[in-house]
Amino acid sequence: MGDGSQLGWDIALSKFDAAWRPLLTVQATNLQSQQGRPSLAFAGGSFYLAYVSAETGNKEIFEKKYDGSLKLTESRRLTSDSQDQDYPRLTWLNGQFILLYCSKRGGDYDIVMERKLRDWKPVESAVVVAEPGEQTASSLAYGGDELYWLAYASEDDSARSIYVKPLKLTSPLKDCQIAASLSSTRAHNLYTLKLQFYNNYGELADPTELSLGWSPEDAASKSDRLQRISLGTFQLRSVFGAAGEKSFRVAAVIDGCMSQRQLTARVT
């Protein structure tokens, strides 16, 4: 958020390299009314910027989508009410957008959660915290096993405190998946371990995080590395040592979805 001119706050979006040297800045909003509280999510190769804007009178939540070069490709209004909406927090997790914000619909601020698929088709809309006083500034993380953790600030006449609350959220989408196969299980022989990564929509996708481990040590040569073959497809070409049970462990984040896979083979 920047440019505090007399006309009201605006939002800028900047791109940095791995050493935090600035590469590019675009101005996301440029209106006389006030815009603020930007929240950025990355999904399917695009950036999604949620923010609060008073351009319609009261405060509402809006969203803009940018490609990797920060070119604007979509603008969307996410809330519409006669009362204020504020503190947007947009997260992309397990194939869904999870938008948190606070709303005065119930009188004072309560926390609302909306879940959407990648085409913004609604999955769920719920008031997840409605306590006396103002609840604002929420954020969310995934803890595995369909358990999400929500943090928020709550302020009443006596105090302002931070709370954390678990939310059990089931997805209408299937889990992301790792497929693994071995071309050979012969001792002292070359083999290829093929890995394929599928996102929550069942499509091949390159993982944003990827780790591979094995046991025992002679299941692969230390110097061999996973290579990308094509979209969502990687392979390890290596050599087995002695006969016996060998196992490979793969962990990956596939377009916002965490997945683990173990492959065990009897090498003879």
Shortest Cβ 110–Ca ion spacing (Å)? 4
12: tokens are 């800028």
The HSE-up count of residue 165 (CA atoms within 13 Å, CB side) is: 16
How far apart are CB 174 and Ca ion at their closest, in Å?
36
Query: Among residue numbers 108 through 147, which ones bind Ca ion (CB under 5 A)?
Result: 108, 110, 135
List 46's β-bridge partners, or say none: 43
* Site for Ca ion contains 86 (CB under 5 A): no
Strand, helix or coil for residue 172: coil
> Least Å distance between CB 70 and Ca ion?
36
* Cβ nearer to Ca ion, comparing 35 with 154: 154
Q: To the nearest whole angstrom, how small is the minimum distance from the Cβ of residue 39 to Ca ion?
A: 21
CA distances from 15 to 5, 24, 74 (A): 23, 5, 18
Q: Which CB, 84 or 110, lies closer to Ca ion?
A: 110
In the complex, least distance from residue 108 CB atom to Ca ion, rounded to whole angstroms = 4
Alpha-carbon distance of 130 to 112, in angstroms, equals 9
Instruction: Quickly list DSSP for 145-201.
Output: TTEEEEEEEEE-SS-EEEEEEEEE---SSPPPEEEEEES---TTSEEEEEEEEE-TT
Nearer to Ca ion, 44 or 133 (CB): 133
CB of 122 to Ca ion, least distance (A): 23
Instruction: Say how many residues touch Ca ion, by CB under 5 A.
Output: 3
Which of these segments, 72-80, 102-110, 179-187, 237-245, binds Ca ion (CB under 5 A)? Answer: 102-110
46 in Cβ contact with 69 (< 8 Å): no
Whichever of 108 and 206 has its CB closer to Ca ion, that residue is 108
Q: Are strands 85-93 and 72-77 parallel, antiparallel or unpaired?
A: unpaired
- Residue 97 to residue 115: CA distance in whole angstroms: 6
Nearer to Ca ion, 85 or 135 (CB): 135
Contact range with Ca ion by CB under 5 A, out of 12-20, 89-97, 105-113, 236-244: 105-113
Residues lying near Ca ion in the complex (CB under 5 A): 108, 110, 135
